[in-house]
Amino acid sequence: MKTRLLILVLLIVCFACGTNKKPVSDAQKDKIIGELKEVINTIIKGAEEANPDIVLESYLDSPDFVFLYNGKTFTYKEIANDMKTDYSTQINQKCTIADEKFVVLDNTTVLYTTNCKWIFNFKDGHSTLLDPLVVQLLFIKVDGKWKVINCVESGVAQSVMNTETLKELNQAELMKQFIGTWKSIEKDTTFIWECKSFGNALEFTIKTETKSRVTTDAKSLLGYDKEHDRLIEAFIDPKSPEIYLCPCWFTSRNSFIQILWKDIADPDKADFKWAIEFINPDSFVITEIRYNIKGEPHTYLKTK
């Protein structure tokens, strides 16, 4: 009886395999490609809305799933966690497809390849362009649904201007929020920023006093660069032979970010960032970010 049962199981498996491997007619191919286009459009929609749940719905949650990006491999769990983290920092994405190709291997297996470009718009005001980007997806049909079991992406990234966050922000006007005298007291040290108008720019006098002794006495000018829609700060410390140029911009009406000039071509990879958030017209919080690690926030209060 066991032998007969084993033979029956093998016959069923062989029949199923033989059915799937039969040549696919043109009509069947058109139907399959039509179904996959709907799935791919859903994946793109989810990515453009920065909604990981929509994207992951089309990925197969399986130990066999592999995601490969520029030489690095990820499991389903790893890519799901990374996607949720990355998407939480984004406003949206924009996809432009140059061309695409479907290779129907059988009734349940399709290889999809596309040449495209993507723009990622982040909440902190920067954008990343992937162009060119090649994406290859291997789809299999599971319980009547098409799922991605393997994804390969390879692309070239560069920083571009984020038009999503900046198009409604008047940088030259927003910088006037700094006008006034601001103080922050940390233990035995007092930080003082005195800011006043200087033509169309702002002039800062920056002092640090520790136990009533002045340890820092520097100046800077902050002005608007119309061509790049950015603010530029020139910082001068008389104790240093260098002048520091720092690009900066408001990412919202209350949030401000600053980097070093050397990182202007690729703000994503900036070693140092300074993030400022205006809590209200009379206070702001500044946080130094080194190698993507946030330091302790410092609160400044307006004294006059």
HEC-encoded secondary structure of 96-136: EEEEEEEEEEECCEEEEEEEEEEEEEECCCEEEEEEEEEEE
Cβ atoms within 10 Å, residue 17:
10
Look up the pTM and report it. 0.59
In the numeric block, which tokens belong to residue 17?
């395999």
Rounded CA-CA distance 29/35 in Å is: 10
**What is the reported pLDDT for 163?**
62
pLDDT, tens digit, 9 for 90 and up, residues 145-182 = 999 999 999 999 887 766 666 667 899 999 999 999 99
Find the angle CA(21)-CA(24)-CA(25) to the nearest 5 degrees.
155
pLDDT, tens digit, 9 for 90 and up, residues 105-133 = 999 999 999 999 999 988 877 788 999 99
In the numeric block, which tokens belong to residue 133?
């980007």
Rounded CA-CA distance 141/145 in Å is: 5
Does the pLDDT of residue 13 top 60, yes or no? Answer: no
Please choose, from the candidates 40, 38, 32, the residue with its C-alpha nearest in 3D space to the C-alpha of residue 104.
Answer: 32
**Are the CB atoms for 94 and 119 separated by under 8 Å?**
yes
Class of the domain covering 171-302: mainly beta
Rounded CA-CA distance 128/130 in Å is: 7
Strands 213-225 and 180-186, bridge-based pairing? unpaired
Cβ atoms within 10 Å, residue 27:
8
Q: What's the pLDDT band for 29 if we cut at 50, 70, 90?
A: very high
**Are the CB atoms for 179 and 194 separated by under 8 Å?**
no
Rounded CA-CA distance 217/190 in Å is: 12
Sequence letter at residue 169: L
**Are the CB atoms for 277 and 255 separated by under 8 Å?**
yes
Please choose, from the candidates 149, 146, 145, 127, the residue with its C-alpha nearest in 3D space to the C-alpha of residue 136.
Answer: 149
Does the pLDDT of residue 2 top 70, yes or no? Answer: no
Domain with CATH 3.10.450.50 in the chain: 25-160
Count the alpha carbons within 13 Å of 141 in the hemisphere toward its beta carbon: 13
**What is the reported pLDDT for 239?**
81
Q: Looking at domain 25-160, which CATH architecture does it have?
A: Roll (3.10)
The answer for residues whose C-beta is within 8 angstroms of residue 37's C-beta and 6 or more apart is none
Q: H or E segment at 27?
A: helix 26-48
- Provide, for the chain, the percentages of residues in helix, strand and coil under a 3-state DSSP scheme, each rounded to the nearest 5: 25, 50, 25
Domain with CATH 2.40.128.20 in the chain: 171-302
Does the pLDDT of residue 1 top 80, yes or no? Answer: no
Rounded CA-CA distance 179/222 in Å is: 11
